[in-house]
Structure 1
Amino acid sequence: MIDFGSEEEENRGAPQWMATFADLMSLLLAFFVLLLSFSKMDLERYKTIAGSMKMAFGVQQEMQVEDIPKGTSIIAREFSPGQARPTPIRQLQQQTADTSRPDLQVGNPDAPPLTAEEAEKARELLEKQLAALERETAADAERLRELFEEEIREGQIEIETNGRFITIRIRENASFPSGSATLTEGFLPVMGKLRTALADIPGEIAIEGHTDNVPISSSTFPSNWALSAGRAVSVTHELLREPGLEDRRMRVVGYGEIHPLADNDTDEGRASNRRVEIVVRQPLVEGEEAP
């Protein structure tokens, strides 16, 4: 039994039982320190908690913008809150902090400006590269002309080039009945040859339907827009009917009567305007998407 002592003894200092209590607390503290030193951290749980904290304390402010964001890169599709660092990627950057100015500067703004001689050499180099690419496009078009020599002679199709564009023009007289979007049986072999040829030519493929200005109104096609789009879809379906072409390269457009080739005042002009064009758009830089 612990004797707590008299009131006079208490006034002289701490009671004797405090020494036992202090020893007990010290032992408990040492015990928990040892337990903590022997414990292991759950890394997966720590990463989960850290990730949640990172998301919770991210960018909190939202701003309403009316203009198109003027980013520092034509390649990046999203903005990052990280610190910007120079990269070897070609960039488009504004020359001023004034966001109302539309002028952009190509390249690294910290780099010294090109001299007149260097700029002229760069321009000549770009012109040579573009000319070489256009020669490749012309060679692809020439192979198509050799392959479809008979169809071109009979007036079924036409093949033209413009820069990095190849246009294969399908005439209505051999491909579609009047007012219909169903390909004729006799033109299906030509579509098979086109499918094989286009598989070997790089670039995005746009199937564009066109009509003359004579109004059409039927249960199937209420307007020239519907007829032009229907014919473009029919050509696309036939090109994709068998393996060879990737559907991700294809794009279907119906222009109706808004892009005539000839005057609609004559029968010959209206016949020229009724057509489906297969436009192959090849990229201006190797490895990039077509324009």
Structure 2
Amino acid sequence: MARKRKKHDHDDHVDESWLIPYADLLTLLLALFIVLFASSSIDAAKYEQMAKSFNVVFTGGTGVMDQTSMQSTEETENSNQTKKAAEEDEEAKAKARDHAVLTKVKKQVDSFIANKKLGAKLETKLTDEGLLITIEDSIFFDSGRAVIRPQDVPLAKEISKLLVINPARDIVISGHTDNVPIRNSEFESNWYLSAIRAVNFLSILLENSNLDQENFSTKGFGEFKPVASNDTAEGRSKNRRVEVLILPIEKKAK
């Protein structure tokens, strides 16, 4: 009778020899990651800030970057407001200083008018546009004429001295008439008469070497800017005039 061969336990044992090189491989990978981690420099604060910023994007929360941006915007706005307030304050001070200068000039002209007893023909007024000196045409001109009478040239030269102002500013000379049509061959219209009167008056003023031509200009308005009714002789007399407008220092003649 044949004997049965007895099976031994080691015949069923699985070969595990591959575990050794696998363990070595894992060890090497772990060592590699440790070296990489050690060689990298991670700023914890920046990492936290970045994480919070991503939180803003994904959850709609408020992150560090958002807060920093808002703070920066507020600081910029505050700085701009402070700068604007300072500029407005300086502008207000400059206007106040300029107003004081024009007020002083007005007093000088008023004193001149009183001394010359010209109160009925000359007047001054401070307006939003500047200091306005109004001169009735009869002081310098004959009716329908644009040439200053020779005997009145010295008066025009005295007025020029009042226009020497420091600092210098723009001055506009404008001519005006009533609405009565011009009746001579010298001028086509009241507009021409008013313009030539302004130019002739300015030419006398600029004989004063202390005045800079660059600061002066002329305008002619004819009958189109009346200051009184043209229905009366008195009103028409007021409308026939030459105006000297001394502008504030920050304004330029247009």
Query: What is the root-mean-square deviation in Å for CA atoms of aligned residues?
Result: 2.9
Partner of 1:137: 102
Q: Which amino acid aligns with 1:191?
A: A
Q: Deviations over 1:269-288 (max 9, x none)?
A: 1100000111111323xxx8
Report if aligned partners of 1:203, 1:290 keep a CA contact under 8 Å in 2. no
Alignment of 1:1-291 (within 5 A): 112-114=76-78, 118=82, 123=88, 126-151=91-116, 153-163=118-128, 165-201=130-166, 202-284=168-250
Q: Which amino acid aligns with 1:112?
A: T
Q: Which runs of 5+ in 1 are unaligned?
A: 1-108
Q: Which runs of 5+ in 2 are unaligned?
A: 1-72
Partner of 1:43: none
Larger Rg belongs to: 2
User: Which has the higher relative contact order, 1 or 2, with Cα contacts under 8 A spaced 6 or more apart?
Assistant: 2
Report if aligned partners of 2:175, 2:219 keep a CA contact under 8 Å in 1. yes
Deviation, structure 1 residue 113: 2.2
Report if aligned partners of 2:161, 2:208 keep a CA contact under 8 Å in 1. no
For 2:101 and 2:147, the matched residues in 1 are separated by 34
Percentage of pairs with the same residue: 29
Alpha-carbon distance change, 177 to 282 in structure 1, aligned in 2, over 3 angstroms = same
Report if aligned partners of 1:170, 1:277 keep a CA contact under 8 Å in 2. yes
Q: Could you state the TM-score of these two structures normalised by the residue count of structure 1?
A: 0.55
Partner of 1:101: none
Q: Deviations over 1:193-242 (max 9, x none)?
A: 11222123521111100001111142111100000011101101111234
For 1:200 and 1:121, the matched residues in 2 are separated by 28
Q: Which amino acid aligns with 2:132?
A: T
Alpha-carbon distance change, 160 to 166 in structure 1, aligned in 2, over 3 angstroms = same
Q: Could you state the TM-score of these two structures normalised by the residue count of structure 2?
A: 0.62
Report if aligned partners of 1:137, 1:163 keep a CA contact under 8 Å in 2. no
Give the secondary structure class of the aligned counterpart of 1:166: strand
Alpha-carbon distance change, 196 to 153 in structure 1, aligned in 2, over 3 angstroms = closer
Deviation, structure 1 residue 161: 1.5
Give the secondary structure class of the aligned counterpart of 2:199: helix
For 2:183 and 2:141, the matched residues in 1 are separated by 17
Report if aligned partners of 1:283, 1:290 keep a CA contact under 8 Å in 2. no
For 1:152 and 1:261, the matched residues in 2 are separated by 23
Q: Deviations over 1:118-163 (max 9, x none)?
A: 4667645543432232122111211222233234644232122224
Report if aligned partners of 2:113, 2:119 keep a CA contact under 8 Å in 1. no
Q: Which amino acid aligns with 1:147?
A: F
Q: Which amino acid aligns with 1:113?
A: E
Give the secondary structure class of the aligned counterpart of 1:199: coil
For 1:248 and 1:225, the matched residues in 2 are separated by 24
Partner of 2:32: none
For 1:199 and 1:132, the matched residues in 2 are separated by 17
Q: Which amino acid aligns with 1:218?
A: N
Alpha-carbon distance change, 241 to 139 in structure 1, aligned in 2, over 3 angstroms = closer
